[in-house]
């Protein structure tokens, strides 16, 4: 049924998916397992689909950094693609570009340790730490500020698409998944454009409550 539905969506037979409001999807992350990361052709095709849909920022993750080693090939093959850090420095941004960030398990670990040390030092230097209950002393803004101090500009994905044999984030840095919606897409080998479109459409149509 899913294959038939995906095929119908791809052909445009289901008008529900004819247009997608991507305002909510500022950053999308794609996680692939190690075996899939070795097949760069499938990753390139997936990125081309995302470009067609209109996604502007994508983080590509595999635990061993295989995709990062192939980033030059990926950037050459995907039209309009650039590294995220290069686009952020561009004073004349092009709306047709797609920003790519290559992430592995080893990335950001040193920055997180430095940021944690900054937060600890701030806590120890506070005038009356015993007056604080502790439950909300370190907020998201505190963490973001500490990461900026150590020179780390972290992009938290709104939606995480996992391509792999099991329902897991496969090692994607958990501290970057604060409010992220996670969707398991099956294996990359059998990816479908219609299923991708459906997952993004469903996310953009959901009202999210972040609490207080």
Domain ranges of the chain: 1-103+154-205
Confidence tier at 212 by pLDDT (50, 70, 90): very low
Question: Does 8 or 82 have the greater pLDDT score?
Answer: 82
Across the chain, where does the E strand assignment appear?
A: 28-32, 57-61, 81-83, 98-103, 159-163, 181-184
Task: Write out 25-79 in H/E/C secondary structure.
Answer: CCCEEEEECHHHHCCHHHHHHHHHHHHHHCCCEEEEECCCCHHHHCHHHHHHHCC
- What pLDDT digit, counting tens, does each position of 15-73 carry? 666 677 788 899 999 999 988 888 899 999 999 999 999 999 999 999 888 999 999 99
Q: Which helix (H) or strand (E) holds 5?
A: helix 2-10
pLDDT (0 to 100) of residue 179: 81
pLDDT in tens, 169-185: 888 887 778 789 999 99
- CATH number for region 1-103+154-205: 3.40.1180.10
pLDDT in tens, 79-131: 999 998 888 776 555 667 899 999 888 776 776 777 778 777 877 776 555 55
pLDDT of 135 > 80? The answer is no
* Strand partners of residue 31: 61, 162
What pLDDT is attached to residue 92?
A: 52
pTM, two decimal places: 0.78
């Amino acid at each position: 049924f899913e294959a038939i539905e995906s095929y119908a969506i791809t052909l445009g037979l289901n008008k529900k998916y004819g247009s997608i409001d991507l305002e909510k999807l500022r950053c999308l992350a794609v996680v692939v397992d190690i075996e899939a990361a070795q097949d760069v052709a499938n990753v390139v095709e997936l990125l081309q689909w995302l470009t067609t849909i209109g996604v502007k920022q994508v983080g590509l993750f595999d635990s061993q950094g295989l995709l990062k080693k192939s980033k030059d090939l990926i950037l050459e093959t995907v039209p309009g693609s650039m590294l995220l850090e290069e686009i952020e420095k561009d004073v004349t941004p092009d709306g047709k570009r797609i920003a790519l960030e290559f992430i592995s398990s080893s990335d950001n670990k040193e920055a997180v340790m430095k940021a944690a040390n900054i937060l600890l030092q701030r806590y120890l230097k506070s005038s009356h730490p015993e007056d604080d209950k502790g439950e909300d002393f370190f907020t998201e803004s505190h963490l973001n500020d500490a990461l900026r101090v150590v020179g780390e500009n972290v992009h938290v994905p709104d939606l995480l698409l996992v391509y792999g044999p099991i329902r897991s984030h496969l090692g994607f840095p958990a501290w970057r998944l604060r409010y992220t919606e996670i969707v398991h897409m099956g294996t990359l080998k059998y990816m479908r454009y219609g299923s991708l479109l459906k997952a993004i459409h469903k996310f953009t149509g959901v009202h999210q409550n972040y609490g207080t």
